[in-house]
């Protein structure tokens, strides 16, 4: 079974530039998550989708971050304009249906460096 796919794996941009990350979840998984993992910290949930609807985006900095999952399958996370503090690993994850006790599978992450 294919895992959660993410691209690009690595990206270096200058501050105030924009960047987009793509995620393709495990086939059939209705729930998709984007997490931000800053070096030395645990991952923090940015946004959760159930199919193509947003369940939780309370920690998404909406002035610069946006995410979409238009057809309920793959998803894109965009940052515009980027700040130095956005340097982090952006993890995409998916689960079959969401809900307590449901196993969440993570991708390998997209490493962003803002200079």
Partner 1 sequence: GNSVTQMEGPVTLSEEAFLTINCTYTATGYPSLFWYVQYPGEGLQLLLKATKADDKGSNKGFEATYRKETTSFHLEKGSVQVSDSAVYFCALSDRGDDKIIFGKGTRLHILP
Report the alpha-carbon distance of residue 89 to residue 110 in Å, rounded: 5
> To the nearest whole angstrom, how small is the minimum distance from the Cβ of residue 14 to partner 1?
26
Q: Which is nearer to partner 1, 45 or 73 (CB)?
A: 45
Within 8 A by CB and 6+ apart from 39, the residues are: 87, 88
Q: Between β-strands 110-114 and 10-13, what pairing exists: parallel, antiparallel or unpaired?
A: parallel
Nearer Cβ to partner 1 (81/111): 111
Q: How many CB atoms lie within 10 A of CB 85?
A: 10
Q: Which is nearer to partner 1, 48 or 75 (CB)?
A: 48
Nearest CB to partner 1, comparing residues 17 and 111: 111
In whole angstroms, the minimum distance from the beta carbon of 88 to partner 1 comes to 13
Rounded to the nearest whole angstrom, what is the least distance from the CB of residue 106 to partner 1 in the complex?
4
From edge to edge, which strands make up the β-sheet containing 75-79?
5-7, 19-24, 75-79, 65-68
Interface residues with partner 1 (CB under 8 A) are 3-4, 31, 40-45, 48, 56, 91, 93, 95, 98-109
């Amino acid at each position: 079974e294919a895992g959660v796919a993410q691209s690009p794996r690595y990206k270096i941009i200058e501050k105030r530039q924009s960047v987009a990350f793509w995620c393709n979840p495990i086939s059939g998984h209705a729930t998709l998550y984007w997490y931000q993992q800053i070096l030395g910290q645990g991952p923090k949930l940015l946004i959760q989708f159930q199919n193509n609807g947003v369940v939780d985006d309370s920690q998404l900095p909406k002035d610069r971050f946006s995410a979409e999952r238009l057809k309920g399958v793959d998803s894109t996370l965009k940052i515009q304009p980027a700040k130095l503090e956005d340097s982090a690993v952006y993890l995409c994850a998916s689960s079959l249906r969401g809900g307590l006790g449901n196993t969440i599978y993570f991708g390998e992450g997209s490493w962003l460096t803002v200079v």
